[in-house]
Amino acid sequence: MPMRHDVLEFAVLGVLSDSPLHGYELRKRLAVVLGPFRALSYGSLYPCLRRLQARRLIEELAVTPATESTAPPLSARRARVVYAITADGKEEFATWANSPGPEAWEDEGFAAHLAFFSRTEERVRLRILEGRRSRLEERVEALRDSVVRGRAKVDAYTLTLQQHGLDGAEREVRWLNELIQNEQSSTPQSRPAQAITTPEEQA
Amino acid sequence: MPMRHDVLEFAVLGVLSDSPLHGYELRKRLAVVLGPFRALSYGSLYPCLRRLQARRLIEELAVTPATESTAPPLSARRARVVYAITADGKEEFATWANSPGPEAWEDEGFAAHLAFFSRTEERVRLRILEGRRSRLEERVEALRDSVVRGRAKVDAYTLTLQQHGLDGAEREVRWLNELIQNEQSSTPQSRPAQAITTPEEQA
DNA sequence: CCTGCGATATATCATCCTGATATGTTGTGG
DNA sequence: CCACAACATATCAGGATGATATATCGCAGG
């Protein structure tokens, strides 16, 4: 999937709005933000940074290569280019975070919006979650059709795989329903926690 | 993800070994075979067909409706090119289906192997399922680490998303365990069926 | 001590895939 | 009888990836 430019750019702005970063670290954080651990190449990241720079939404912070006075181990490094968000960039990011377009229902776009939900207004949060839910409900319908229609035609293994995919999609809808409920009742800072340490899992 | 050439080629051979097909229909069936509904472009399919043709693993069946018209030149009816697998192609496919390499643990490779499991020997089926399981267990471990380590650092929404991803990965391991059990006891043609019509799903 | 390895860090490029687009045919509901 | 959707093949600009190159740093083990 070609990763829409706007999604990537706003994800970069979002990550940089926490603190200035250099490319290497930025890339790692983006991998977390854009869907579960979908790393992107530098061949995509650097052009994106250049685009944002051209629009004055980010700027380079020249890191002093000089070793001031003391000679601690943290000097003389290779030039690390640190990028920082500008005032214009912050404005642009805030606008995007609160104006969900169709990109917000897609996988990457939704993950990116969710990653910055704490900077999104409550009513907008609900719009995004509900939009995402109906997007997924469409997918569930498509899969259900396919499983029902293909029941006779495909072999047992393929059917099992399709059923597994369908179950997963339904599970995702249920997860979104939970999020929506939490959103409607109160701010969700204290969800049930859902046992970080999961059960066993026999060898 | 760039879709490995070998996986695509063997998936094509597998689909064509059922019956000869033209490109349009072939593509649709490949979308089912290669992971849940991951359609590929003609820009990938046609070169793949040309590669297979060059290696004499498939051949074109010229289907000409033969309209003996005297109409202007070039107005001949557009040819529907039907591709068929050759004897060499069948041999190559059988070899692949029963010799799982590392590609069989990855998403597309596994889906492709599973789609042709009925043409795979039992002991090989087990090898593939177990290889895939350990591949997924690695993923679960990575996600678990990330959720545990990042628990304090990320906000509640991102944590929820990560937890959701982890749950999904664990669910996939359980599914594979079921398949492996069925494989070990007998041929799995009659899995519990798991209710094609799923429960309700409140609006 | 110093050697090698893995992580940190930036950058480029050939290769190849996707999404858009073009063109034309068949079938069908209004 | 027309419009519109599905069928069918094909090309290409644009762009993402994975490989590769370069260089520093921290550290484990010989």
DSSP A65-102: -S--SS--TT-S---PPEEEE-HHHHHHHHHHHTS--G
Using a 7 Å CB cutoff, list residues 1-40 of A near strand C.
Answer: 1-2, 22-25
Nearest chain A residue to B194 by CA: give it: A163
Does some domain include residue A31? yes
CB A117 within 8 A of CB A126: no
Whether the per-residue pLDDT at A142 is higher than 70: the answer is yes
Out of A82-91, B58-67, B108-117, pick the least confident.
B58-67
Q: How large is the average pLDDT for residues A108-124?
A: 93
A137 and A90 within one domain: no
Q: How many domains does chain A have?
A: 2
B98 and B19 within one domain: yes
Between the CA of B23 and the C1' of D6, what is the distance in angstroms? Answer: 15
Tokens (6 digits) for B167:
């749950």
CB A117 within 8 A of CB B154: no
Q: Is B178 exposed, middle or buried (0-12, 13-18, 19+ CB in 10 A)?
A: middle
Whether the per-residue pLDDT at A194 is higher than 60: the answer is no
A88 and A58 within one domain: yes
More confident: B153 or B123? B123
A171 and A92 within one domain: no
CB B82 within 8 A of CB B9: no
CB A81 within 8 A of CB A98: no
Does some domain include residue B195? no
B93 and B33 within one domain: yes
Assess A128–B contact: CB distance below 8 Å, yes or no: no
More confident: B76 or A122? A122
B138 and B50 within one domain: no
Task: Give the per-residue pLDDT at B19.
Answer: 92
Q: How large is the average pLDDT for residues A96-102?
A: 90
Does some domain include residue B161? yes
Confidence tier at A198 by pLDDT (50, 70, 90): very low
Does some domain include residue B40? yes
Identify the CATH number of the domain in which residue B25 sits.
1.10.10.10
A14 and A105 within one domain: yes
A94 and A138 within one domain: no
Residue range B45-56, pLDDT digits in tens: 999 999 999 999
Domain containing residue B57: 5-65+80-105
Residue range B5-48, pLDDT digits in tens: 999 999 999 999 999 999 999 999 999 888 878 889 999 999 99
Task: Give the per-residue pLDDT at A186.
Answer: 62
B21 and B88 within one domain: yes
Residue range A30-58, pLDDT digits in tens: 998 888 788 899 999 999 999 999 999 99
Confidence tier at A146 by pLDDT (50, 70, 90): confident
